[in-house]
Chains A and B, each alone.
Chain A
Amino acid sequence: AQRVTQPEKLLSVFKGAPVELKCNYSYSGSPELFWYVQYSRQRLQLLLRHISRESIKGFTADLNKGETSFHLKKPFAQEEDSAMYYCALNYRGSTLGRLYFGRGTQLTVWP
């Protein structure tokens, strides 16, 4: 069975501090990993995906197959980064696009 684990339900950092949101997955095949973000009173939206290898809003995430992890990192957190972050997994090569989500991490960035 596929599973996405986000061990931290809540994470607080001060503005300017580095932040890392952890995501581990269990899947024996080749996964496609995503980070979705939900700002207050807004809809869930895609932040980034591992195949793009891009940096969005200063966030990066690297897929580590050895550790089965896809941690989200930002070197200098900003107050506007405060939001709920969900890690999600899809079968690589699947045409279905069904996503398996972790339970989410609520990030709070203090001024």
Chain B
Amino acid sequence: DTGVSQNPRHKITKRGQNVTFRCDPISEHNRLYWYRQTLGQGPEFLTYFQNEAQLEKSRLLSDRFSAERPKGSFSTLEIQRTEQGDSAMYLCASSLYTEAFFGQGTRLTVV
């Protein structure tokens, strides 16, 4: 599968723990996005990278969230001190222009 890859697919964690998700975009895509999707809602934008530069962050991205894209390749999204409200599907997408290709997501459950 040469599409966008996300790991892990599922993560269950206890409240207060830190979690990290990984996204491997399509190799030639210079843009990478993180979205969050909760039940009954469409994806909500979290942050955007062009190559290794993080160019935009949503106000949804509190200071407990941090994202990186070292060397402009894969990206990681870390959530520190998880809260139950962080339970959601975290989607990664990559693009070359404006068509975004999505990964299958990481489903986070905070118990």
Contact = CB atoms under 8 A, between A and B. Distances in A.
Interface string B67-111: 000000000000000000000000100010111111111000000
Q: How large is the interface on B (under 10, 10 to 19, 20 to 34, 35 or more residues)?
A: 20 to 34
Contacts of B33: 97-99
A103 interface: yes
Nearest to B102: A44
A82 B4 CA distance: 24
B43 A44 contact: yes
Nearest to A87: B42
Contacts of B91: 44
Contacts, number: 55
B48 A96 contact: yes
B43 A98 contact: no
Interface in A1-50: 4, 6, 9, 32, 42-46, 49
Nearest to B104: A43
B41 to A, nearest CB: 5
15 contacts: A32-B98, A43-B3, A43-B104, A44-B43, A46-B100, A96-B48, A96-B56, A97-B33, A97-B48, A98-B45, A98-B56, A99-B33, A99-B35, A99-B100, A103-B40
